[in-house]
């Protein structure tokens, strides 16, 4: 579950989510949460992946911004986060390999997800290979579409190209009605959503997504 506040983290746990991506300011597509928020969420006992995004807007970062994100990764690791969620692009839309290497060095020992910066990158097949070579464990993507459901054709291609070398995790617009279809038609085994009601993650919607599927409990992860 993508959780923008502690109420949502509690609801995700109640609903049966396997882990959370923690962020603030979901209305800005998510920013790095505060130290206090990280500490509180991690203390709830569910694996927490911390979003590392220093500002809203594009994913082309200055050296100072990359330094700030490295510091945020160091803090997340110190507080006991299970992983971090990162991404950076060059002005031409390619993957910023130097920035990702810097953040990966800081994230040593943590699970690392490359976030939806991928969905605005150029040459997605080439970008996927770079992300794999950089050592990321997971790619969160809508298949370069507005929603993961619309991006099913590209998501399927990415799953096939990845061939087990990295986890492809569909996200964006996931709900109890379409989660099973996205998983079935793409071959993905993990899925990502906020499942919000009245501005917060809903335990009821999390449970409905877990139950409204054609898979066993072991077959996929909702994150």
Integer Cα distance of 212 and 4 in angstroms: 24
Q: What is the pLDDT of residue 219?
A: 43
- In order of their start, the domains of the chain are 2-214 (3.20.20.380)
Q: For residue range 100-158, what is the model confidence (pLDDT) as tens digits? A: 999 999 999 999 999 999 999 999 999 999 999 999 999 999 999 999 999 999 999 99
User: Band of the pLDDT at 221, cuts 50, 70, 90?
Assistant: low
Residue 170 token pair: 């569909």
Residue 51 · residue 72 · CB < 8 Å:
no
Full-model pTM? 0.92
Please provide the average confidence, as pLDDT, over all residues in the chain: 94
DSSP assignment of 171-185:
BSS--TTTHHHHHHH
| Statement: residue 210 has pLDDT above 60 | yes
């Amino acid at each position: 579950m993508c959780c923008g506040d502690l109420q949502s983290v509690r609801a995700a746990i109640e609903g049966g989510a396997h882990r959370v991506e923690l962020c603030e300011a979901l209305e800005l597509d998510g920013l790095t949460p505060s130290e206090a928020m990280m500490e509180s969420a991690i203390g709830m006992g569910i694996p927490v992946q911390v979003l590392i995004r220093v500002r809203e807007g594009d994913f082309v970062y200055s050296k100072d911004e990359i330094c700030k994100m490295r510091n945020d990764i160091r803090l997340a690791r110190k507080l006991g986060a299970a992983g971090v969620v990162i991404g950076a692009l060059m002005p031409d839309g390619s993957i910023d390999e130097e920035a990702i290497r810097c953040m990966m060095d800081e994230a040593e020992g943590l699970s690392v997800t490359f976030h939806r910066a991928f969905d605005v990158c150029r040459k997605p097949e080439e970008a996927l290979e770079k992300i794999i070579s950089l050592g990321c464990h997971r790619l969160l993507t809508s298949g370069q579409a507005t929603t993961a459901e619309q991006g099913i054709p590209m998501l399927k291609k990415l799953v096939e190209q990845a061939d087990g070398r990295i986890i492809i995790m569909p996200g964006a617009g996931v709900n109890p009605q379409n989660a099973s279809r996205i998983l079935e038609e793409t071959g993905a085994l993990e899925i990502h959503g906020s499942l919000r009601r009245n501005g917060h993650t809903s335990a009821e919607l999390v449970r409905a997504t877990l139950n409204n599927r054609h898979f066993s409990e072991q077959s996929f992860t909702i994150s």
